[in-house]
Amino acid sequence: MSKKKQRQIRTDFRKNRVERQRKVNFTRDFAAGEPEEIDSVREERISGKGELSRRRTVRAADETACADDSNSQPVLAVDEAVCLAGRVLKVNGLLSTVETADGRRYQCATRRLLKTISTDLRHVVVAGDHVLIRPADDKEGIIERVERRYGVLSRASRGRQHTIVANVDQLLIVGSAAEPYLKPNLIDRYLMSAEKAHIRPLIVINKIDLVEPAGLMPLVGVYSQMGYPVILTSARSGTGVDRLRRELVDRQTAVVGQSGVGKSSLLNATEPGLALRVASVSQETQKGRHTTTTAELLRTQSGGYLVDTPGIRQFQLWDIVPAEVQNYFRDLRPYVGLCKFPDCSHTHEEECAVKDAVADDLLDVRRYESYLSILEGSLDDLEDWS
Ligand code: GDP
Ligand code: ZN
């Protein structure tokens, strides 16, 4: 068992765990475990009275495991000697497909204790997680530990946060110059998500074979000035595809953008091995067909991973309150501290440095309008944007 710094953390029981079941299941789950592990279970203390208030104390393997945000989970101490490190490629109900470093794949259930300490059963394990598994044979195993996550993309699902994928370091935001027409405000929304999740955004404007590229330059200029890389591509003619391929090397890239902009075509062009389905236009117009939300990691030849699923293409922003919006607009940030009112929303207020900057052409008008539309429009009702 790991002898790293340990600390105790308190965690809620899931409501549906009645005491008798717990005993039965612990016995069964840990019967096959190492003695150390059984010891660690004994160290859990049960306190509180009612079902809702009952908590248990478990040991976390490192100090920072429970820090900051709701995406982090306690990292459990496990017997690392019998475990293999792997990456969750996909979660299918209770089973996860885990790929280990040597490329082997295991179908894994999740250790029950992990589920218990999770605040939300649905993201005990998500695609992209780095995990430790205990193999049962060469095809199956148990996920013993989920490592700390970074770069988490979430969407709102019936008022709750639903983690779609973890450990992403690049958000590929794809729009098309035409068919469907370019929606810069949608790009801005995805940029906010990237900023919030601390994921590097990469903007791609596809189908430039359909337009005069010079017309896109003002927009490209605005994003470039903010430090966002922009690539103009055509999956059809091949323009920009090499550059895009280079940007994917060794990266964990999640792909977002509305239907029909050419995401599958582009990814197929950069990675011919993927063979993603390219939808015909008629398929694309049938809304509601893309109901799957299961994210899947696809390994690229160059060593990175791509995450491309309809469920993540059109995710809603989670957890961004109006006052926060300005923080995720890089170009607004230099001005927000200069407004007369510290809580200025940059809408109706007087002596607003943001509005002054727009008037002085220091801030792009369209970006400011995009900011306003995000503030006014419901942050939690973005389905229409996709
Ligand atoms: P996705 O929904 O974003 O994955 O888009 P698809 O890759 O399925 O492409 C949607 C449609 O756009 C298909 O009919 C493609 O053939 C077409 N398409 C994709 N890329 C390009 C491009 O660069 N130029 C043009 N003219 N059409 C494209
Ligand atoms: Zn202001």
Q: How far apart are CA 374 and CA 377, in angstroms?
A: 5
Q: How far apart are CA 276 and CA 268, in angstroms?
A: 6
Q: How far apart are CA 315 and CA 164, in angstroms?
A: 9
Which tokens go with 27?
């016995």
Instruction: Determine if ligand 1 sits within 6 Å of the CB of residue 281.
Output: yes
Rg (CA), the chain: 23
Q: How far apart are CA 369 and CA 386, in angstroms?
A: 19
For every residue of 163-228, which 3-state class applies, written as one string? EEECCCCEEEEEEECCCCCCCHHHHHHHHHHHHHHCCEEEEEEECHHHCCHHHHHHHHHHHHHCCC
Instruction: Determine if ligand 1 sits within 6 Å of the CB of residue 209.
Output: yes
Tens of pLDDT, residue by residue over 9-42, are 444 444 444 444 444 444 344 434 333 333 333 3
Residue 333 to residues 188, 226, 324, 337, 346: CA-CA distances in angstroms?
15, 11, 11, 8, 12
Q: What is the pTM of this model?
A: 0.76
The percent of residues in the chain predicted with pLDDT above 90, rounded, is 48
Tens of pLDDT, residue by residue over 288-317, are 344 455 788 988 888 889 987 655 555 555
**Ligand 1, from 233, 265, 270, 276: best to mutate by most atoms within 8 Å of Cβ?**
265
Q: How far apart are CA 15 and CA 21, in angstroms?
A: 12
Whole-number mean pLDDT of the chain?
77
Q: How far apart are CA 188 and CA 117, in angstroms?
A: 36
Instruction: Determine if ligand 1 sits within 6 Å of the CB of residue 309.
Output: no
pLDDT reported for residue 17: 43
Ligand 1 center–CA 290 separation, angstroms? 16
Q: Quick one: pLDDT band at residue 1, thresholds 50, 70, 90?
A: very low
Classify residue 117 by burial, with Cβ atoms within 10 Å: 0-12, 13-18, 19+.
Answer: buried
More confident residue, 156 or 249: 249
